[in-house]
A and B are shown apart, each in its own frame.
Chain A
């Protein structure tokens, strides 16, 4: 109570003084009333002022009172230079907001533990091996039978959990409803109990639901899906859900904050692993495998033996597996067996988004931090200049007895005020920008989704940042100001160069940071430009893609008839069919065996394509011919130039044959095309072959096709305008074909560059801000320095210094600092670029224009920023200065 009353008293200091005074006055009046002489009463009472001071100090929290006074004083200081203060607050707000936003994204995607119990005991199993292209890869997918063996082997010490990645799946909620998309996740039955999750409604999946194949047709909805799709309707329990030919019963809704383990994707529907058709295959690796240590098991000692045990079990499974390596070349088998099982902590979930965006977010955080530092240097410079201007005041304060601590407090208060205002603005900026950047990650029709709560983690980071900023801004000026020697200052002759030295050092730091930002940005922008301007080898113009499915499959003739019917639709220019679109999500490799030899260790990738597909895609033929309607697979094949180089070096490929694996039917090469990107714009050129869309099965009968893509060249500039009518057109034919997904070839190409585009945009933004701030900082320091050296410049002019000489003394040391900072920045840039090289596309940190671009930008900015100060110096009138002295 006492502290509280002292604090509240501090807030009403003046009123308190009046009250104390009134009480003391009433005392004297009482004395007079009881017969004392007024003069004597006053005399015996002593000094009222002194007593009031004594009482005042007792009744208020002195530290708070002085703090309030300092805050008031700091506020007045800020108000005195409104424009400067506003610029300082805005630049700091931008820096703080960007840092907090970057932290929110990094934390949400990479660090924040999943909302489950024992997240610290959760690990994920993967295998390190050498990939197809000879690079080390981390394979995190497992076959379910392998998983079951490993699960049983370690069940005394740990629980193994199977969770598939969320797959955007066609579902029908009840008979008669339209098909819609939902993210379906297959989980083993032990997930919910092990994660300690409680249902929001109904029940969750249990181990019994996952016991045998097809025995658990039950679905659990995520809370999020239940909320946005069903409006939290409690009657959802018991309703059915259809996925292709399976029917599931909805039995419950998961807890509110659990969205699955795949950060970046919100799971909609959880199904038992045993209900997936993939679970029965020994050679299909499709599910992630998590490991949860049992309680009481010490991770430090138990993990390595567990890893070795799991590795041995999995190895034994693969050796046993009869279907795993049928027809696979020995070299590939050797490569696949040469691997190491590893356990990674997975308490923060696991997803491809994490893998793809880890470096990206690191760069984002670095750029944001650098911009904040540049802004801090600017504001610290401003405060140093103000502190120098106040050196007389400080000296006076010290001479009349102000403690140095109090002076430090005075200046820190001002920097804290700036930082607090900037933080408030920055928080608003972060609240807007973090979700905004997140919404630009992933294609617009399937955006990344992450919980971005503003909870204690963000608050803690924000407060830490605030304190850091206060110290960065204020500590140096505060210590400088408090170290003022009153005698020297009041005499008017302290070393006038020392604050400038400090500020010049700051310039070097600022230029170094700015250079680093510019350097990285130019690398990212160049990467994006190279990627975007990469020659495709096919045209994306007016190409509509209808990804179509056919339940249990339809014969090629049905697909071809549909294509023929689509050609007759007005607005359609040409129609072709391919197995899947180029640059889509699908890539399938195939072994290649020449003349009955064992398959080569480098596989090729393939695509089924109908006659006319090449011309619809505007892919030219280098030699040979396109497919004809009577061509079928196996039989004819068209190959790309890399395929020729790989398998038929130096030969004419037309008419030559290859097999897709040992003892497979022959394919005759009928045409050669140039290389076009197959799956990824960044990929090295792959060997690709095309086979006819019509496939012949084992008994010489046509093979049914269950999914393919209609590639439609439209007359209209916007191919999507036709999308809905064509979808209905196909549905109305009632031949079992159904359009599952609509996109354009242009969108698929654009989706390839999303990360690079986003990074380039953000980097360019930060570079512009950094350059602007550095320019402002440079201008301010030079201007200040010229003002300070007015006397010196005047004297130099008076004794005959040339204009060039004046310019030299004004700018020389600054440009030295810029050069020093620039070199440091580029050196730092090389280090940083090495770390993020995986984000580059066909650029190297050592490219000449990557270094010259930021250097030129800095120099140009420096020139523009120094000009006003130089002119000011040249306009100095020596007579005026000397007269004033």
Chain B
């Protein structure tokens, strides 16, 4: 699954941000949340969402839990950990500096 670091980084950032605002979401809800809050501009590619979630879980940024849904099926919901909050801060400031830099380049040209 080839993917550039910037894209992967931004997916992490989006997921962490969504989870910081609305804890305890399952994968599908995270995906729709990204789409709706970005005004349907950003769409998390479905194929990379779960590997990203699992990677962040192994890194200890988010924590997963099985719950029973109304339909009787189980769903796996995620929430932010303390380490995740710190990571979110770092990702946000990185994003800020990158976008600032890109904007500056755009203005100059």
Contact = CB atoms under 8 A, between A and B. Distances in A.
Given A2-B58, A58-B58, A59-B58, A23 B46 contact: no
Contacts of A34: 28, 32
Interface in B15-68: 26-29, 32, 46-47, 50-51, 54-55, 57-60
A738 interface: no
B49 to A, nearest CB: 8
B28 A58 contact: no
Contact of A54 (B1, B29, B46, B58): B1
Interface residues of A, number: 25
A24 B50 contact: yes
A6 interface: yes
A23 B58 contact: no
Interface stretch (A43-51, A132-140, A486-494, A528-536): A43-51
Contact of A46 (B27, B47, B55): B47
Contacts of A30: 26, 28-29, 75
Nearest to B66: A19
Contacts of A29: 71, 73
B76 interface: yes
Nearest to A30: B28
B94 interface: no
A728 interface: no
- Among A1, A22, A31, A51, the most chain B Cβ lie within 10 Å of the Cβ of A51
A27 interface: yes
Contacts of A54: 1, 50-51
B77 to A, nearest CB: 10
A58 B46 contact: no
B50 A51 contact: yes
B40 to A, nearest CB: 14
- Among B50, B60, B73, the most chain A Cβ lie within 10 Å of the Cβ of B50
A46 B76 contact: no
B86 interface: no
B51 A23 contact: no
A2 B60 contact: yes
A33 B46 CA distance: 17
A5 interface: yes
A55 interface: yes
Given A26-B76, A27-B27, A30-B29, A46 B46 contact: yes
Contacts of A2: 58-60
Interface in B59-97: 59-60, 69, 71, 73-76
A58 B51 contact: yes
Nearest to B45: A46
A26 B59 contact: no
A56 to B, nearest CB: 9
A22 B74 contact: yes
B83 to A, nearest CB: 10
A689 to B, nearest CB: 91
Contacts of B26: 26-27, 30
Given A2-B60, A45-B46, A23 B55 contact: no
Interface string A1-18: 110011000000000000
Nearest to A55: B54
A20 B76 CA distance: 9
Interface string A31-47: 10110000000001110
Given A30-B26, A46-B46, A6 B74 contact: no
Nearest to B55: A58
A666 to B, nearest CB: 101
Interface string A53-80: 0110011000000000000000000000
A416 B28 CA distance: 46
A758 B32 CA distance: 83
Contacts of B29: 30
A407 B21 CA distance: 49
Contact of A23 (B27, B59, B60, B69): B27
A25 B29 CA distance: 14
A33 B54 CA distance: 24
A654 B79 CA distance: 113
A254 B31 CA distance: 75
Given A1-B60, A23-B76, A34-B32, A44 B54 contact: no
B105 to A, nearest CB: 34
Interface string A319-363: 000000000000000000000000000000000000000000000
Nearest to B49: A27
A31 B57 CA distance: 23
Contacts of B55: 58
B54 A58 contact: yes
A54 B8 CA distance: 15
A59 B54 contact: yes
Contacts of B27: 23, 26-27
B74 A26 contact: yes
A29 B27 CA distance: 12
Contacts of A23: 27, 50, 75-76
Contacts of B59: 2
A20 B66 CA distance: 12
Nearest to A45: B46
A34 B73 CA distance: 15
- Among B54, B57, B73, the most chain A Cβ lie within 10 Å of the Cβ of B54
Contact of A31 (B28, B47, B50, B58): B28
Given A1-B60, A59-B54, A44 B76 contact: no
B73 A6 contact: no
A26 B60 contact: no
Nearest to A41: B46
Nearest to B73: A26
A812 to B, nearest CB: 61
A196 B46 CA distance: 71
B28 A51 contact: no
Contacts of B50: 20, 23-24, 27, 51, 54-55
A852 B53 CA distance: 76
Contacts of A19: 76
Interface of A: 1-2, 5-6, 19-20, 22-24, 26-27, 29-31, 33-34, 44-46, 50-51, 54-55, 58-59
Given A2-B60, A23-B50, A26-B76, 19 more contacts: A2-B58, A2-B59, A22-B74, A26-B27, A26-B28, A26-B69, A26-B74, A27-B28, A27-B46, A30-B75, A33-B71, A34-B32, A45-B47, A50-B47, A54-B51, A55-B50, A58-B54, A58-B58, A59-B58
25 contacts: A5-B58, A20-B54, A22-B74, A23-B27, A26-B26, A26-B76, A27-B28, A30-B26, A30-B28, A30-B75, A31-B28, A33-B71, A34-B28, A45-B46, A45-B47, A46-B47, A51-B47, A51-B50, A54-B1, A54-B51, A55-B50, A55-B51, A58-B54, A59-B54, A59-B57
Q: Which 8 A-B pairs have the closest CB atoms?
A: A30-B28, A54-B51, A46-B47, A55-B54, A23-B76, A58-B54, A27-B28, A58-B55
